[in-house]
C-alpha cells in the first residue's frame, strides 16, 4: 500500500491533467493518492473530481493549512 502525493501548489497550469492521468494509471487497490492545490485554484478542481470519478476512484476533498486544499483518493474496490 503506497501513499502518492501530487503537489500542484507551485507552477499551477502546467499539464496537471496529464500528470494526474499518468499517476492514476499506476495506482493499485489499497494505494492512496493525495492531491494538493492552492486554495486560489479551488474553482479549477472540478475537473480533477470528474477525472477521478471517471477513472474509478472514490475521493474526498479536504481543507488544509496555509491556503491549500487537498483531495484524498483511492481506487474503488472491485466486487
Hey, what domains does the chain have and what are their CATH numbers? 3-75 (3.40.50.150)
- pLDDT for res 14: 67
Enter the pTM of the model: 0.86
**Cβ distance 33 to 62 under 8 Å?**
no
Pairing mode, strands 68-75 and 32-38 = antiparallel
Model confidence pLDDT, tens digit, residues 18-42: 999 999 999 999 999 999 988 887 7
List pLDDT tens digits, range 46-76. 899 999 999 999 999 988 777 889 999 999 9
The cell for 65 is: 493549512
Amino acid at each position: 500500500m503506497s501513499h502518492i502525493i501530487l503537489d500542484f501548489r507551485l507552477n499551477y497550469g502546467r499539464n496537471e491533467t496529464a500528470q494526474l492521468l499518468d499517476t492514476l494509471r499506476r495506482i493499485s487497490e489499497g494505494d492512496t493518492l493525495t492531491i494538493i492545490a492552492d486554495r486560489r485554484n479551488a474553482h479549477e478542481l472540478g475537473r480533477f473530481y470528474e477525472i477521478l470519478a471517471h477513472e474509478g476512484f472514490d475521493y474526498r476533498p479536504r481543507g488544509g493549512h496555509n491556503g491549500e486544499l487537498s483531495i484524498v483518493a483511492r481506487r474503488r474496490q472491485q466486487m
